[in-house]
Structure 1
Amino acid sequence: MSQESPRELLDQILQQPDNDERPSKSQLKREMQALQTLGEQIIAMTPGERARFPLSDDMLAAVEETTRIRSHEGRRRHMQYIGKLMRREDLEAIRAVHDEIEQETLRRDHAFHRLEKWRDRLVDEGDAAVEAFVADYPDADRQALRQLIRNAQRERERGKPPASARKLFKLIRDTAGL
């Protein structure tokens, strides 16, 4: 059995020609599993993200019902039902929204990684890095920045938890507007 991602399987489903040949039973199971996995991903999203999807009323009701199911077997059967409902949905539109949300998530993650690098650089280099940071972000509060850097350096030297480093990251994030 091949280990294809739900994304690859969804692409295969959407690209299948409409000919008279019936797909194999294994292919049907893989497609159903891909749709079920996509349904699980939609369920795991925040309500705001979920609202962006063009889902039918039946699908929305099934997604909301998922939160009330506690039994493992009941949830498993319900996820199969979600996979069945997914077959009737507009998969092209759902894929477009899903890709858009994934891209937004990637951009946000990259932005946070850049800010984490700034935080580490500020703590490691001190005032030299402060000047570079202020050049990139002129609205930064230099005094608060320097104070948090000093506190974070002291915490690191003493082996204490990085409370000031977290506050520094929050200040950097707020300054960057994220």
Structure 2
Amino acid sequence: MSQDSPRELLDQLIAQTGDDDERPSKSQLKREMHALQTLGEAIIAMTPAERARFPLSDDMLAAVEETARVRSHEGRRRHMQYVGKVMRRENLEAIKAVYDEIEQEKLRRDHAFHRLEAWRDRLLDEGDSAVEAFIADYPDVDRQALRQLIRNAQRERDKGKPPASARKLFKLIRDTAGM
């Protein structure tokens, strides 16, 4: 079985719903059922705040809540089959729209996180010229704390110590950037 993402599975399921001119094969039905189970697992794995954004029926919400109580491996397997069955009655287009929105938000957060990491690395490697550039971009930063954390992080790096100050520097950069 290929490891398609829930996004790809949603695209496939939505595309297949329009092909109603002939009866699907048993293999096709199994593939669709597996895709729905995978999508259900992805929704279950999300945070409650993310899950609340989906237009899910009361049956699906109950199945999601029930998942936490299922402990045995076989019981979980059977429960995920049930989740797949319940997913058949859900509005897949609306779920796909919310899923895409959540994925885009995660991508934006990841890109912002990488930009902040690049600032931290630049501040540690380039010194004063990078500090001035950072201050120009973020004039509200606590300059004294910034310079102190950079010195401490550079000292830790040179001595091969754990990067406690580098983490504090990243936290200062993140807080200054408003993330």
- When the two structures are superposed, what TM-score results if normalisation uses the length of structure 2? 0.95
The corresponding residue for 2:114 is 113
What is the CA–CA distance in structure 2 between the aligned matches of 1:65 and 1:100, rounded to whole Å?
Answer: 26
Structure 2, unpaired ranges of 5+: none
Aligned pairs for 1:6-155 within 5 A: 6-16=6-16, 17-155=18-156
Aligned-pair CA distance for 1:129: 0.5
What is the CA–CA distance in structure 2 between the aligned matches of 1:138 and 1:164, rounded to whole Å?
Answer: 21
Aligned-pair CA distance for 1:3: 5.4
Moved more, 98-107 or 18-27: 18-27
TM-align CA RMSD: 1.3
Superposed CA offset, 1:8-38 (max 9, x none): 2321221232533011212111111111111
What is the CA–CA distance in structure 2 between the aligned matches of 1:90 and 1:61, rounded to whole Å?
Answer: 16
- Does the CA-based 8 Å contact 2:9-2:39 persist in structure 1? no
- When the two structures are superposed, what TM-score results if normalisation uses the length of structure 1? 0.96
- The structure whose RCO (Cα within 8 Å, separation 6+) is larger is 2
- Does the CA-based 8 Å contact 1:9-1:30 persist in structure 2? no
State percent identity of aligned pairs.
86
- Does the CA-based 8 Å contact 2:124-2:154 persist in structure 1? yes
Give the SS at the match of 2:69.
Answer: coil
Aligned residue-pair number: 178
Superposed CA offset, 1:122-171 (max 9, x none): 01111111001111111111111000000000000000000000000000
- Does the CA-based 8 Å contact 2:150-2:169 persist in structure 1? yes
Moved more, 28-37 or 108-117: 28-37
Structure 1, unpaired ranges of 5+: none
The amino acid that maps onto 2:152 is N
What is the CA–CA distance in structure 2 between the aligned matches of 1:106 and 1:29, rounded to whole Å?
Answer: 32
1:170 matched to 2:171? The reply is yes
Superposed CA offset, 1:84-129 (max 9, x none): 1000001111110000000000000000000001001101111111
Aligned-pair CA distance for 1:2: 5.5
